[in-house]
Homo-oligomer: A and B are copies of this chain.
Amino acid sequence: MNWSACFAQRTALMKSGALRELMKVTSRPEVISFAGGLPAADLFPVAQIKSALSAVLAAWGGQALQYSETPGLPELRDWIAGRFSLARLRVARENVLITTGAQQALDLVGRILLQKGDRVIVENPTYLALLSAWRPTGVEFLPVACDAHGIQAEKCKPLMKLKPKALYCVPNFQNPKGATLTLSRRKKLVALARQHSMAIIEDNPYSELRYSGSALPNLLELDARNGASSEYESHVIYAGTFSKVLMPGLRVGWVIAARPVIEKLTLAKQAADLHTSTLSQHLALELLRRGFLEEFLPTLREQYGRRRDAMLEALEKYFPKGATWTTPEGGFFLWVTLPKRVNASQLLPAALGQRVAFVPGEEFHLNGEGKNTMRLNFTNAPPARIEEGIRKLGRLL
């Protein structure tokens, strides 16, 4: 059977990131990895999880492992709706769809919204797996530079003549740059969406992990605030996840959107995987009801904040003059810009030789820029390992 002659044309648009190959090396315990976007599994409170699982099985018995509704457990949807509802933003259960991680949220949005000929504005650099999810639809990406304060909203305006159908952004502690979008830029994006009937896909996995500075309103909230209607209606499709604040292995994320969007997404999800793991949803719900998030988040913020600080200090100490970096207020990543002459991709093999891994920043760009940049994750390794890794990288530089 000659399979390559059988594959659909869209498979030519499915690419394996260099990132994925890199991960095979970095999963070895002797490697200090700044490459992935992994939370620290050693912080997961295993005893609490075990007790929550027992409570779920005691309360639900076999039903905790039975088929369940496509949109998700009603109680979990209600919890999320409650968490996001504000005075001027009434989120109902019907505005919430549970997904198999936020990645599925992005994938489903692509399926219902995008087709060949459509244009989508993305941050440059941007989240790689968004490109993987949407590229097979045949969509054209319009990259707009993301600086230390997020996507340059003022540069989006001239693109409106190309009638982009949607704009994708990670407003808080962006992946890969760690940048936070300023309030004035947020407002500008919402205004553009309203004026040009453009959808905004707000991907917000990290917002609860803020280590300094103060929170800014979500785009979802900014759009709703100016809306007069009491029924929820928004240009924003919001993707959230428990992967960063509880555990990624659950694969539980969600979408918040207007009802017509949720209805289409639900049809797409039904065809994609029927529903998200019933057990995972019950476990998440049980942990949330116990107030686990209120207990666990301060620990995460403290630990991850320390790791960020350890990396910033080590960079100051060991990295050469001429290198600069972002100081993220939260999230998982920071971004280093090396002197122009340094090519981060060429540095990588030597770094791996020293058992330190990072991702060359060029990978996240749509236009070959960023050859002298690198993305560094600071949540996965403890402070001492972070210092050791940065020292080794600094010596190589």
- The distance in angstroms between the C-alpha atoms of A5 and B268, with both chains bound, is 18
Contact across chains for B107 and A271 when beta carbons are under 8 A apart: yes
Contact across chains for B271 and A273 when beta carbons are under 8 A apart: no
A195 to chain B, nearest CB (A): 12
Q: Taking the complex as formed, is A155 at the interface, i.e. its CB lies under 8 A from any CB of chain B?
A: no
- A6-B165, A197-B1, A272-B107 given; A14·B65 CB < 8 A: no
The residues in A between 1 and 46 inclusive whose CB is less than 8 angstroms from any CB of B are 1-11, 14-16, 20, 36, 38-39, 41-44, 46
Contact across chains for B264 and A7 when beta carbons are under 8 A apart: yes
Chain B residue with minimal CB distance to A114?
Answer: B8
- The distance in angstroms between the C-alpha atoms of A112 and B12, with both chains bound, is 10
Q: Taking the complex as formed, is A124 at the interface, i.e. its CB lies under 8 A from any CB of chain B?
A: no
Which stretch of A129-137, A177-185, A203-211 is in the interface?
A129-137
Q: Taking the complex as formed, is A338 at the interface, i.e. its CB lies under 8 A from any CB of chain B?
A: no
Contact across chains for A41 and B61 when beta carbons are under 8 A apart: yes
Q: Taking the complex as formed, is A278 at the interface, i.e. its CB lies under 8 A from any CB of chain B?
A: yes
Q: Type the 1/0 row for A168-196, where 1 means its CB is closer than 8 Å to any CB of B.
A: 00000000000000000000000000000
Q: A5, A64, A100, A249 — which one has the most chain B CB atoms within 10 A of its CB? A: A249
Chain B residue with minimal CB distance to A234?
Answer: B1
* Residues in B neighbouring A277, C-beta threshold 8 A: 100, 249-251, 277, 279-280
* Residues in B neighbouring A111, C-beta threshold 8 A: 8, 10, 136
Contact across chains for A249 and B65 when beta carbons are under 8 A apart: yes
- The distance in angstroms between the C-alpha atoms of A36 and B67, with both chains bound, is 10
Contact across chains for A274 and B46 when beta carbons are under 8 A apart: no
Q: Type the 1/0 row for A206-250, where 1 means its CB is closer than 8 Å to any CB of B.
A: 000000000000000000000000000111000000010001111
- The distance in angstroms between the C-alpha atoms of A129 and B137, with both chains bound, is 22
Q: Type the 1/0 row for A44-61, where 1 means its CB is closer than 8 Å to any CB of B.
A: 101001100110010001
- The distance in angstroms between the C-alpha atoms of A250 and B11, with both chains bound, is 29
Contact across chains for B62 and A43 when beta carbons are under 8 A apart: yes
Chain A interface size, as a band, is 35 or more
Q: Taking the complex as formed, is A367 at the interface, i.e. its CB lies under 8 A from any CB of chain B?
A: no
- A44-B61, A100-B273, A249-B277 given; A258·B67 CB < 8 A: no
- The distance in angstroms between the C-alpha atoms of A271 and B247, with both chains bound, is 19
* Residues in B neighbouring A233, C-beta threshold 8 A: 1
Contact across chains for B66 and A248 when beta carbons are under 8 A apart: yes
Contact across chains for A6 and B199 when beta carbons are under 8 A apart: yes
Q: Taking the complex as formed, is A270 at the interface, i.e. its CB lies under 8 A from any CB of chain B?
A: yes
A23 to chain B, nearest CB (A): 8
- The distance in angstroms between the C-alpha atoms of A243 and B234, with both chains bound, is 37
Q: A273 contacts which of B1, B6, B251, B278 (Cβ < 8 Å)?
A: B251
* Residues in B neighbouring A114, C-beta threshold 8 A: 8
- The distance in angstroms between the C-alpha atoms of A5 and B67, with both chains bound, is 34
Q: A1, A50, A67, A100 — which one has the most chain B CB atoms within 10 A of its CB? A: A1
Q: Type the 1/0 row for A264-292, where 1 means its CB is closer than 8 Å to any CB of B.
A: 10011011111111111001000000000
The residues in A between 40 and 96 inclusive whose CB is less than 8 angstroms from any CB of B are 41-44, 46, 49-50, 53-54, 57, 61-68, 70
User: Assuming A1-B233, A65-B248, A250-B279, what are 13 further A-B pairs, CB within 8 angstroms?
Assistant: A2-B197, A7-B112, A7-B113, A8-B113, A15-B267, A36-B67, A39-B66, A50-B54, A64-B249, A66-B248, A107-B271, A136-B268, A280-B280
Q: Give me 30 A-to-B residue pairs in the complex whose CB atoms sit less than 8 angstroms apart, sorted by A's number.
A: A1-B199, A3-B261, A7-B264, A8-B111, A8-B137, A9-B115, A11-B264, A11-B267, A15-B267, A16-B270, A20-B70, A41-B61, A41-B63, A41-B65, A42-B61, A42-B62, A44-B61, A50-B57, A65-B247, A67-B248, A68-B249, A99-B273, A107-B272, A129-B274, A136-B271, A248-B278, A249-B278, A251-B273, A277-B279, A277-B280
